Structure 1
Amino acid sequence: MATPDLDRLAKYVKAHRMETFTSRKAAADTAGISKDTWQKVEEGQDVRESTYAKIDRALGWATGSCTAIARGDEPILVGTSGATATIAPAPPPPISADELRRAAFEAARAKLPGAPIGDIDAFSDELVEILRRAGQVTDGA
């Protein structure tokens, strides 16, 4: 993933905050964060993901908008046509059972060099089955 453009995010947050709130403190209070933390965002400094979600809510953006802005997208205003409650990242492409089994086997061999091959095979098979039931693994190669 590309490095987030926190300066771009800072400009968006500051501009929208100035349209929406009388002060940085009022915005921070609405978000449930400190004024200093809000200032960090407006200065392009990195903060916790949970802070971005609080800023999204305070500014009336769908959850994930701050992250979207930092990667070059636009925020989604909550309540606008076609807006969803959350901007979900694109799911990873499915992995085949064979690819997963091979990767699990190689990782187990590297981290547990003394483990019997049969135990590593059993582990790999069980991992594939758990992820297959969760819909994360395809049966094709």
Structure 2
Amino acid sequence: MATRDLSRLAKQVKAHRWELFTSRKAAADSAGVSKDTWQRVEEGLEVRETTYAKIDKALGWASGSCIAISEGGNPVFVDSSKAGGASAPAAQQKLTVEAVRRAAFEAARAKMPAAPIGDIDAFSEELVEVLRRTGDIGDES
């Protein structure tokens, strides 16, 4: 994993928030996080991975954009009409539950070969639930 530059992320989140929202509270409400949590991101402090996913969605970025920015990349805009960002291909916007489970299982087995299968299955299910909450997969997938 690349080293994360949270100050770089903070600058981009703040700049884009100014374009979309009248206040930090409005942005936080849209994301479903507290104003203090949003402020932590804008100050370059660490937050949970699920928080980054919520901020991605509130800012109109594809899931994973906050992480990509912090690792030197650029956001991917879900709405291709936004200037300055690439649009996310349709195949990347929605994943099937089975594809997520399979990818999580294979990645966990590759990186943690000694982990019990039950733990890997539990991790896979939790990942599916996180992606459901962020809207990246649906219940019917």
What SS does structure 2 have at the residue aligned with 1:44? coil
Which ranges in structure 2 are unaligned for 5 or more consecutive residues? 81-85, 95-102, 118-141
1:1-141 paired onto structure 2 within 5 Å:
1-80=1-80, 82-83=87-88, 84-85=92-93
Size of the aligned set, in residue pairs, is: 96
Letter in 2 for 1:11: K
Distance in 2 of aligned mates of 1:16 and 1:24: 11
Secondary structure (helix, strand or coil) at the match of 2:93 reads: coil
Structure 2: distance between partners of 1:82 and 1:39: 27
Partner Cα distance (2:21, 2:15) in 1: 10
Look up the equivalent residue of 2:38 and give its one-letter code: W
- Give the counterpart letter for 1:85 in structure 2: Q
TM-score by length of 2: 0.60
Superposed displacement of residue 85, structure 1: 1.9
Rounded Cα–Cα distance in structure 1 between residues aligned with 2:93 and 2:15: 22
Residues 68-102 of structure 1: CA deviation (Å, up to 9, x unaligned): 0000000000032651327xxxx8xx9xxxxx8xx
For the residues of structure 1 that align with 2:56 and 2:87, how far apart are their CA atoms?
Answer: 17
User: In structure 2, do the counterparts of structure 1 residues 34 and 3 end up closer, same or farther at CA, with 3 Å as the change threshold?
Assistant: same
C-alpha distance in 2, partners of 1:85/1:64? 11
TM-score (norm 1): 0.60
Give the ranges of 4+ consecutive aligned residues of structure 1 lying more than 6 Å apart after TM superposition: none
* Separation in 1, partners of 2:61, 2:2: 22
Q: What is the alpha-carbon root mean square deviation over aligned residues?
A: 2.8
Q: Which has the larger Rg?
A: 1
Unmatched 5+ residue regions in structure 1?
A: 95-99, 108-126, 128-141
Shift of 1:3: 1.6
Asked whether the 8 Å contact 2:10–2:42 carries over to 1, the reply is yes
Describe the shift of the 1:38–1:82 C-alpha distance in structure 2 as closer, same or farther (beyond 3 A): closer
Aligned residue type for 2:41:
V
